[in-house]
Amino acid sequence: MLKQRIRLQAALLLALDLALVAAAFFLAYAIRSELFPQVLPDLFPRPLYPLSDHLPLLPLALLAWAVPLVATRRYRSHRIADLRTEATAILKVAAAATLLILFAIFVLQLDQLLLQDRFSRPWLLLFSGLSFVLLLAEKIALRTLARDLRQHGLNQRAVLIAGTPEAARQLAQSIEDHSYWGLKIVGLIHTDGSRSAQGTQPVWGGVDDILRVVSENVVDDVFFAVTPNELPALQTIFEALQEQGIQTRIALDLLPPAHSQVQLDSLAGRPVVTLSPAPSSLPLLLFKRFYDVCIGVVLLAISLPAILVLALLIKITSSGSVLYRQTRCGLNGRRFTMYKLRTMVVDADTRRAELTHLNTMGGPAFKMDRDPRITPLGPR
């Protein structure tokens, strides 16, 4: 029942988001076609083609926004997420959706199939910007409404905190300092068995009392502020709480501050906590890779005439291959071969040892004045 309610809530939020994206679609058309020609006639001398010719792009736009919205898990609970995190996530979704639309239009050439006129790039930028603004305004409004309801005692979740006296007290204090999270503390459980209260929250006993407390009180979540060494002894408690439909949350002290992205994965059914120092979202990484490749191809095409001229000059002024190849170290130690236009003699690497005493740099770097290995086209 709980999962069905969560899915229904996610579906309603997705429908609301797509409705706002559709509103941004029509609003962007109205601004570009009606307002811009009047306000900026020099830049936009004529309106867009009729709206009826523009409508075939609407399903494509909705799909392009729906994919990153779902892929980035925008419809999971963000009860304790801050506004900056929410805004950054929406901005990434907007960038991903824009890249998807550009890919469909310019690479797959869907504009020739769907439109009867030239595609408007200013309209796309305006549409993406308005969609971002509307979605962010919606999230702020929903967040403000939800937090106001929680501070008045509605939409709250009852939580029980288990841990050492100090760890439980710190977690309880953090929850009390953020009342808009909507977490109501039922009490504390001291895993060391002590019953002495260090704050305003009642202490219900030790680990053996957890199941009794949740059976006698309304408890939605149980927070465990424990060390990794304590987890095996709590396995039976976790299983019993799952059977009762109570969410179990584990605050592990081994995790670093929020410099790394923390996510939960599954390995053959075994939960695995992943700490990632870099973005790990596969859809966003694919979009970035697509962007990098597209920009690289464009820049390579633009610079190709100059590259050909330089290659010819290198061939004329020095013997050997035009390109210099070197093995470099990439992501996580992976090796790759780098290619560049050669500006030194062919055996420059082997001659480095005989010039070591002229090195003007410290450490592994090597640099010297008037390097004899540089070709006539190389930097002096």
Q: Is the confidence at residue 255, as pLDDT, over 70?
A: no
157-254 CATH fold: Rossmann fold (3.40.50)
Instruction: Give 20-56 pLDDT, tens digit per residue.
Output: 999 999 999 888 888 888 878 777 777 777 777 778 7
Instruction: Give 274-303 pLDDT, tens digit per residue.
Output: 666 666 666 667 777 887 888 888 888 899
Q: What is the mean pLDDT of the chain?
A: 80
Strands 270-276 and 261-267 turn out to be antiparallel
Cα separations (Å) of 209 from 66, 246, 359?
45, 15, 71
Give me the pLDDT at residue 134, please: 94
Give me the pLDDT at residue 89, please: 84
Closest to 64 in 3D by CA, of 128, 9, 126, 109: 128
Return the SS3 of 65.
helix
Give bridge partners of residue 205 from the DSSP assignment: 189
Higher pLDDT, 231 or 128: 128
State how far the Cα of 164 lies from the Cα of 206, in Å rounded to an integer.
Answer: 10
> 38-51 burial, b for 16+ CB within 10 Å, e for fewer?
eeeeeebeeebeee
Residues 54 and 126 sit within 8 Å (Cβ to Cβ): no
pTM of the model: 0.52
Neighbours of 264 (CB within 10 A): 9
Q: Is the confidence at residue 266, as pLDDT, over 70?
A: no
Residue ranges per structural domain of the chain: 2-151, 157-254, 283-358
For the chain, the first-to-last Cα distance in angstroms comes to 73
Instruction: Give 167-207 pLDDT, tens digit per residue.
Output: 888 888 888 877 767 788 888 988 887 877 767 788 888 88
Token pair recorded at residue 292: 């990098």
Strands 183-190 and 157-163 turn out to be parallel
Instruction: Give 83-93 pLDDT, tens digit per residue.
Output: 777 888 888 88
Q: Is the confidence at residue 261, as pLDDT, over 80?
A: no
Q: Is the confidence at residue 2, as pLDDT, over 50?
A: no
* 314 residue type, one letter: I
Q: What's 330's DSSP letter?
A: -
Residues 93 and 128 sit within 8 Å (Cβ to Cβ): no
Residues 314 and 377 sit within 8 Å (Cβ to Cβ): yes
Q: Which helix (H) or strand (E) holds 94?
A: helix 83-102
Token pair recorded at residue 333: 């130690």
Token pair recorded at residue 360: 């003007």
Percent of the chain whose predicted confidence (pLDDT) is above 70: 80
Q: Is the confidence at residue 265, as pLDDT, over 60?
A: yes
Closest to 14 in 3D by CA, of 140, 111, 154, 135: 135
Which runs of E-coded beta strand occur in the chain? 157-163, 183-190, 203-205, 221-225, 247-250, 261-267, 270-276, 323-329, 335-341
Token pair recorded at residue 317: 């002024």
Q: Is the confidence at residue 262, as pLDDT, over 70?
A: no
Instruction: Give 340-364 pLDDT, tens digit per residue.
Output: 998 888 888 788 777 777 777 776 6
Q: Is the confidence at residue 131, as pLDDT, over 90?
A: yes
State how far the Cα of 339 lies from the Cα of 336, in Å rounded to an integer.
Answer: 10
